[in-house]
Amino acid sequence: MCGATLSRLSDFDKNIVLVGFMGTGKSAVGRLLADRLKRPFVDLDGEIERTTGMSIPQIFAQYGEAEFRRLEKESVSRIATLKGHVIATGGGVVMDEENVQLLKSSGILICLTATPDAILQRILPTRSSRPLLLRGDPKERIAELMALRASYYAKADVTIDTTHRRPEEVAEEIIRSVGRIHG
């Protein structure tokens, strides 16, 4: 990556916000990107876990999805006040229009995508940590949720397909895209 793009981005104080379906690599790419840009990294689900002292599956099991979405929304309002961070969000955050508006006003929204097959391969080893994929056939559930959410993900400023790319390559492409928009 050329140094000129990196140094241009160092005075870009908006957040870089990663959205997209489960298993598209938001957290892995986000960490690498933050490291590359020397920015602090925040993981929205991690923030929810930290503030509640509970894991995401525990929150779903004890209080249900509606309470998780309320906590998620609270965390979005806090995180949207940050500047110059890389933020990885949970896959369903974009289904709330106010979340999208807040995140957009705080930064640039990058949507990561992948095919349902790639997502299935990536999430199978950690399926128990994704409450929404526990019921029914995971492949059908992924296809169903992806179809329901397509129009929400389409609101992002940039979309990057991660299917055949390593997280390092995705991070580089994000840096180039933000550089083009910002430059």
The pattern of x and - marking residues 6 through 35 that bind ligand S3P according to CB under 6 A reads ----------------x---x---------
| Closer residue to ligand S3P (CB): 43 or 173 | 43
State whether residue 29 is helix, strand or coil: helix
| Spatial CA neighbour of 16 closest among 99, 79, 97 | 79
Decide whether 132 or 143 has the Cβ nearer to ligand S3P.
Answer: 132
Q: Which residues contact 18 (CB under 8 A, 6 or more apart)?
A: 26, 29, 30, 33, 86, 87, 88, 89, 110, 111, 112
- The torsion angles phi and psi of 130, rounded to 5 degrees, stand at -120, 90
Among residues 26 and 39, whose Cβ is nearest to ligand S3P? Answer: 26
- Strand arrangement, sheet containing 158-161: 41-43, 86-88, 15-20, 107-113, 158-161
By CB under 6 A, name the one of 82, 132, 134, 158 that touches ligand S3P.
Answer: 132
Site string for ligand S3P, 92-121 (x = CB under 6 A): x-----------------------------
Give the interface with ligand S3P as residue ranges (CB under 6 A): 22, 26, 45, 56, 90-92, 130-132
